[in-house]
């Protein structure tokens, strides 16, 4: 199977997560993804884009890659820092984003780059 990859740039604004979800939903539908997988990827997409807008800097990018049994979601920004999943309690209002991504994905991580960083999550899908 050949790999497919699409990318888009997003504004550093409150509407970025909604735009990212719409882009991702359209792409996953074109790739024929099942609803259960799509729901998990869309939630992770919202969390990663929101983190990039709130804690990152500069341009926000979204890349989706479908390669065989995996879909990779990658969100980049031009900021520094180390993304970390923080512990939270039942009354915590914030800091659940990366914990949610970790729970939904097969694996997640981040990669530093010359112009910032990318946080990625990989999802197991049927090939």
pLDDT in tens, the chain (127 residues): 678 999 999 999 989 999 999 999 999 999 999 888 999 999 999 999 999 998 889 999 999 999 999 999 999 999 887 766 556 555 555 556 788 898 899 999 999 988 899 999 999 997 5
Determine the pLDDT at residue 2: 77
Determine the pLDDT at residue 85: 59
CA distance 80 to 69: 31
Determine the pLDDT at residue 84: 65
What is the enclosing helix (H) or strand (E) of 125? none
Determine the pLDDT at residue 22: 98
| CA angle centred on 72, ends 66 and 78, rounded to 5° | 130
Strand arrangement of the beta sheet that strand 116-124 belongs to:
4-10, 60-67, 70-77, 116-124, 107-113
CA distance 120 to 27: 17
CA distance 17 to 21: 6
């Amino acid at each position: 199977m050949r790999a497919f990859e699409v990318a888009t740039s997003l504004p550093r604004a409150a509407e970025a997560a909604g735009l990212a979800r719409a882009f991702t939903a359209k792409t996953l539908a074109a790739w024929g993804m099942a609803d259960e997988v799509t729901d998990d990827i869309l939630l992770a997409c919202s969390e990663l884009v929101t983190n990039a807008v709130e804690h990152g800097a500069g341009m926000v990018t979204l890349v989706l890659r479908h390669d065989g049994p995996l879909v990779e979601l990658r969100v980049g920004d031009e900021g520094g820092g180390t993304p970390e999943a923080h512990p939270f309690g039942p009354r915590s209002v914030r800091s659940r984003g990366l914990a949610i991504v970790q729970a939904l994905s097969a694996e997640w991580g981040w990669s530093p780059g010359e112009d910032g960083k990318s946080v990625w999550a990989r999802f197991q899908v049927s090939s």
